[in-house]
């Protein structure tokens, strides 16, 4: 720094950046390595140990080996493909399969990606952004209804 009264520069004081004063100087940062890496490693190790302990304490139930000669088995999709199976139920027939399996989910995903540009309001509150709140509620309702319909189909028609 320059001191105008004497014409000489003041000595620059070295300020030590700590977690307590880092927010006073937004241009300074705290090192990511090794502190944060060690903390992440500790938490990851704890989660891994918890998973190993749980897998030994409550193992997954095993059923009889798969019989490839059976004709009565009806395959069911995993939980993350229920919505695709339900889309095929909404759009039956060979001509509508691609519409239900490709077009509708693509429109749904594009709508979610376009949401930040459709509602550019500066507010963070959902009450002050009704367009985004309504779209978000509709997404949750559609996903939940789709999952409930798929689960009810499995429970009501177990052999199909």
If asked whether residues 52 and 85 sit together in one domain, one would say: no
In a domain, residue 73? The reply is no
Question: How high is the pLDDT of residue 77?
Answer: 75
When divided into structural domains, the chain yields a total of: 2
If asked whether residues 7 and 43 sit together in one domain, one would say: yes
Q: What is the mean pLDDT of residues 39-68?
A: 92
Q: Give the residue from 16, 34, 62 where a domain finishes.
A: 62
If asked whether residues 56 and 107 sit together in one domain, one would say: no
**Of 42-46, 61-65, 96-100, 123-127, where does mean pLDDT reach its minimum?**
123-127
If asked whether residues 56 and 85 sit together in one domain, one would say: no
In a domain, residue 4? The reply is yes
If asked whether residues 51 and 93 sit together in one domain, one would say: no
Q: Between residues 44 and 14, which one has the greater pLDDT? A: 44
Q: Above pLDDT 70, what percent of the chain?
A: 85
If asked whether residues 84 and 145 sit together in one domain, one would say: yes
Q: What is the mean pLDDT of residues 63-72?
A: 83
Q: Give the residue from 12, 31, 62 where a domain finishes.
A: 62
Question: How high is the pLDDT of residue 144?
Answer: 85
Q: Is the pLDDT of residue 18 over 60?
A: yes
- Average pLDDT value over all residues in the chain: 79
In a domain, residue 115? The reply is yes
Question: How high is the pLDDT of residue 44?
Answer: 98
In a domain, residue 144? The reply is yes
If asked whether residues 86 and 151 sit together in one domain, one would say: yes
Q: Is the pLDDT of residue 133 over 90?
A: no
In a domain, residue 69? The reply is no
If asked whether residues 55 and 97 sit together in one domain, one would say: no
Q: What is the pLDDT of residues 118-127, one digit of tens each?
A: 777 777 777 8
Q: Between residues 158 and 61, which one has the greater pLDDT? A: 61
pLDDT band per the 50, 70, 90 thresholds, residue 56: very high
* Three-state secondary structure readout of the chain: CECCCCCCECCCCCCCCCCCCHHHCCCCCCCCCCHHHHHHHHHHHHHHHHHHHHHHHCCCCCCCCCCCCCCCCCCCCCHHHHHHHHHHHHCCCHHHHHHHHHHHHHHHHHHHHHHHHHCCCCCCCHHHCHHHHHHHHHHHHHHHHHHHHHHHHHHHCCCC
Q: Between residues 82 and 3, which one has the greater pLDDT? A: 82
In a domain, residue 74? The reply is no
Is the pTM for the entire model greater than 0.75? no
Instruction: Tell me how far apart the alpha carbons of residues 158 and 142 are, in angstroms, rounded to a whole number.
Output: 24
Range of the domain at 93: 79-156
In a domain, residue 87? The reply is yes
């Amino acid at each position: 720094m320059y001191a105008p009264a004497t014409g000489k520069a003041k000595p620059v004081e070295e300020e030590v950046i700590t977690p307590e004063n880092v927010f006073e100087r937004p241009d300074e940062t705290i090192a990511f390595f090794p502190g944060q890496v060690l903390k992440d490693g500790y938490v990851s190790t704890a989660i891994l140990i918890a998973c190993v302990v749980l897998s030994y304490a409550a193992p997954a139930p095993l059923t009889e080996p798969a019989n490839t000669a059976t004709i009565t088995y009806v395959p069911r999709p995993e939980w993350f493909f229920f919505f695709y199976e339900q889309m095929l139920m909404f759009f039956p027939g060979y001509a509508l399969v691609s519409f239900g399996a490709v077009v509708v989910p693509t429109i749904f995903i594009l709508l979610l990606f376009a949401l930040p540009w459709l509602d550019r309001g500066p507010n963070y509150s959902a009450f002050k952004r009704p367009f985004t709140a309504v779209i978000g509620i509709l997404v949750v309702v559609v996903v939940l209804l789709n999952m409930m319909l798929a689960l009810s189909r499995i429970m009501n028609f177990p052999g199909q």
